[in-house]
Structure 1
């Protein structure tokens, strides 16, 4: 899928998410828009003596939220990470090598509980949804058949603090943990004689990171 198509799909999902939030939050008094940018730590997926590794990367996102009751927000979040996928495989790549660029899109739905006062508000939240991992510019000497995108059920947690600069604008600082369940399933083929190795691990990958952003608070 081309990058422009992915962006169009992401905006469509956000619009649908916003519509869903409006429908399920008819009595909401406050609407928040929170764009963020941060740093996401990579992770490693082991399969036997071999591994696939997702490198550290930047991460941007946007969260749309409605206050369903005071200090309780119902939210839809989109996040994107552009990373690099590396591999060490005793057949395909005995030494660690770059396998492909890797784009990760996250579409998450959940809620956040705020604490504190109107100026400084610590928060904690949970999310669930799905993530799409899309390899690009694959090294065909390692994976001659290329790599397909994979979609996984995902969940996550976040915590941090919002510092309001005024009634309408604030600063968001947060850390997050993301869990794509049973991440894996990339197929890697190697060897002129048709020798191949499969990567189909069943473990849950854990990705942690932190970010900052602006909070635009609209409504009463």
Structure 2
């Protein structure tokens, strides 16, 4: 994790100091699909649930470091809910509809490609960073959060309406590794057996946004 943090800082410096090429601002809006998660200790201690679909929004800044290659620093957020059934070692299973906020702070590399004279620019990219999960449990009135490693991939096309403004269309997959856990859901003192295992979340989305190219 220490090496990853050092790499993240180094790439941020590169993104903000690179003198080559253009700078772009991306405004994102994506429809994110449902995803299931679960963890089983034994028949009497488990949880299983599903993050619901919703609207994900965010912003990114890209810096061209060589022809057609961009470094992007971005922030994305999804507010949703997660109906979950669980058993913490008691006789009867329980259920709750948790309020969940998924925040991503990501740094990635995007490669663009286009035909001469075309207004359509294809792109693909990979990103890594951190995912911050905030959970409110309406059953026991507890809140908690966790910060985990996150990664993602995306691809699509930008249609340039003018030389400075474009419309982005894209498909995207984001994942927070071991992001959803029993302890996080039930809250401190909320589970008699104290489940502490975690389950990875995968979020597939379709959408896009607006692209603004800065400078001359």
Q: TM-score, normalised by structure 1?
A: 0.79
What is the rounded CA distance, in whole Å, between the counterparts of 1:129 and 1:83 in structure 2?
A: 21
CA RMSD of aligned residues (A): 2.6
Q: 1:110 maps to what in 2?
A: 108
What is the rounded CA distance, in whole Å, between the counterparts of 1:132 and 1:20 in structure 2?
A: 24
Segments of structure 2 that go 5 or more residues without pairing to the other structure are 1-10, 41-45
Question: Which structure: greater strand fraction?
Answer: 2
Summarize deviations over 1:115-170 as a string: whole Å, max 9, x none.
1235111110000000100113x223xxx372420111000000000011111111
1:87 and 2:84 equivalent? yes
Q: 1:177 maps to what in 2?
A: 173
Q: How does 1:58-69 map to 2 (within 5 A)?
A: 58-69=55-66
What is the rounded CA distance, in whole Å, between the counterparts of 1:178 and 1:157 in structure 2?
A: 7
1:200 and 2:192 equivalent? no
Segments of structure 1 that go 5 or more residues without pairing to the other structure are 1-16
What is the rounded CA distance, in whole Å, between the counterparts of 2:84 and 2:196 in structure 1?
A: 11
State whether residues 147 and 186 of structure 1, in contact with CA within 8 Å, keep that contact through their aligned partners in structure 2. no
Q: 1:75 maps to what in 2?
A: 72
Q: In the TM superposition, what is the alpha-carbon distance from 1:50 to its structure 2 partner? A: 3.5
Q: In the TM superposition, what is the alpha-carbon distance from 1:67 to its structure 2 partner? A: 0.8
Q: How does 1:90-101 map to 2 (within 5 A)?
A: 90=87, 94=93, 96-98=95-97, 100-101=98-99
State whether residues 35 and 63 of structure 1, in contact with CA within 8 Å, keep that contact through their aligned partners in structure 2. yes
3-state secondary structure, aligned to 2:201? coil
3-state secondary structure, aligned to 1:204? strand
What is the rounded CA distance, in whole Å, between the counterparts of 2:39 and 2:12 in structure 1?
A: 40
Q: TM-score, normalised by structure 2?
A: 0.80
Q: 2:3 maps to what in 1?
A: none
Distance 1:96 1:145, change over 3 A: closer
Distance 1:96 1:195, change over 3 A: closer
1:28 and 2:20 equivalent? yes
Q: In the TM superposition, what is the alpha-carbon distance from 1:96 to its structure 2 partner? A: 4.9
State whether residues 45 and 53 of structure 1, in contact with CA within 8 Å, keep that contact through their aligned partners in structure 2. yes
Q: In the TM superposition, what is the alpha-carbon distance from 1:205 to its structure 2 partner? A: 2.2
Q: In the TM superposition, what is the alpha-carbon distance from 1:207 to its structure 2 partner? A: 0.9
